[in-house]
Amino acid sequence: MYKLNKKMGSIDFMMFSTIMLLIAIGVVMVYSASSYMAFYDKNLHDSTYYLKRQGLWAIIGTIFMFAAIKFDYHKLKKYTKLFMVVSVVLLLIVFAFSATKGAQRWIKLGSVGFQPSEIAKYIVVLYMAKSIETKGGRKIGSFLYGVFPYLLVSGFYAGLVLAEKNLSIAAVIMIVTLIVLYASGARTVHMIGIVLFVALGGVAGIILEPYRMARFTSFLNPWADPKGKGYQIIQSLLALGSGGIWGVGLGKSRQKCYYIPEPHNDFIFSIIGEELGLIGCIIIIILFIVFIWRGIVTAIKASDTYGTILATGITAVIAVQAIINIAVVTGSMPVTGVPLPFISYGGSSLLFNMLAMGVLLNISRQNNQYNIK
């Protein structure tokens, strides 16, 4: 069995610093990207509206993160089934609320709302970490007993998210599942077959939904409909191009002035490119690369299988979302609603991401803290 030393080690300071830098940049850029729109919004008339909300969630998230750092992540095992059930219930409750922009993703409680899908992607990771450790690494090499059950569970959660008209997060759940399975020892031939099958499912998902098909065709040639389906990506590219090397200066973006819809959300990287230029974009990308590197190191050094898989999954969630968001903003893939972790505006997203970061930092803190007896 594993026995925890009473005194745990220190957290990965480089990872912690990277996370806090990304959050700080996010709060500043949310203010910069939203100030014009918030000031001229007839219902708000407050340029600091989104800044205050994002800042508050950042403070709450920081408190949750530090609490998670001190909470032994192994105790999550006994709550995993409960978390899974609660997550499913929350994913179903969203259908009781009215749709927002054609999608039912939110549970709204007064002025506060959150997306259960933000929880679901981490619940899948918790389930896989516990189950794979229990089964042992050898069974992962078997498709029927080691891979297929996880695809069913992840597919179930992804299916619920997809029913909410949220293909992007459903895709994130499945991609993270494949990453965790491969890192856990799944056979390459199985992974190739699954990737092809998932790719076909993604193609079917695009073809069967007219609005997704429209997004895909606009991705191929956004200038074919510059005032319609191609509008958002064209404005994003204009913002990135206008920034040049050094940017036009913090707070001086033109594209945030009702050219890019809701510039503080999924397309905030465009505003970063316009205001801070190529240098600012490179700094953001480097910070994410450093985070991924430290996440991989944490997974490798984790003192047990549970910690390794948990760290791998949490790191993968952030990495996949960051890659997709930047790819969308730069026109490298069709437009999809994946926020840039830690930076895009969104209270529930920031809160659950920071809570997950606390767990990841706790794993780094407990590296080599276990003695086998």
Supply the range of the domain harboring residue 179.
2-372
Which carries the bigger pLDDT value, residue 321 or residue 348?
321
Q: Which amino acid is at 263?
A: P
Most confident listed range (99-103, 265-269, 346-350) = 265-269
The pLDDT, as a whole number, for residue 144 is 82
Mean of pLDDT values over 103-110? 75
> Tens of pLDDT along 207-250?
877 777 777 777 788 888 888 888 889 999 999 999 999 999 99
The confidence band for 372, taking pLDDT boundaries of 50, 70 and 90, is: very low
The pLDDT, as a whole number, for residue 371 is 38
Closest to 15 in 3D by CA, of 361, 304, 373: 361
* Residue 52 clears pLDDT 90, i.e. is over it: yes
The pLDDT, as a whole number, for residue 253 is 93
d(CA 59, CA 351): 9
* Residue 273 clears pLDDT 50, i.e. is over it: yes
Mean predicted lDDT score pLDDT of the chain: 88
Q: What is the 3-state secondary structure (H, E, C) of the chain?
A: CEEECCCCCCCCHHHHHHHHHHHHHHHHHHHHHHHHHHHHCCCCCCCCHHHHHHHHHHHHHHHHHHHHHHCCHHHHHHHHHHHHHHHHHHHHHHHHCCCECCECCCEEECCEEECCHHHHHHHHHHHHHHHHHHHCHHHHHCHHHHHHHHHHHHHHHHHHHHHCCCHHHHHHHHHHHHHHHHHCCCCHHHHHHHHHHHHHHHHHHHHHCHHHHHHHHHHHCHHHCCCCCCHHHHHHHHHHHHHCCCCCCCCCCCCCCCCCCCCCCCCHHHHHHHHHHHHHHHHHHHHHHHHHHHHHHHHHHCCCHHHHHHHHHHHHHHHHHHHHHHHHHCCCCCCCCCCCCCCCCCHHHHHHHHHHHHHHHHHHHCCCCEEEC
| Number of domains present in the structure of the chain | 1
The pLDDT, as a whole number, for residue 60 is 96
* Residue 373 clears pLDDT 60, i.e. is over it: no
Contacts of 219 (CB under 8 A, 6+ apart): 233, 331, 333, 334, 335
The pLDDT, as a whole number, for residue 3 is 46
The distance from CA 116 to its chain's CA centroid, rounded to whole angstroms, is 13
* Residue 47 clears pLDDT 70, i.e. is over it: yes
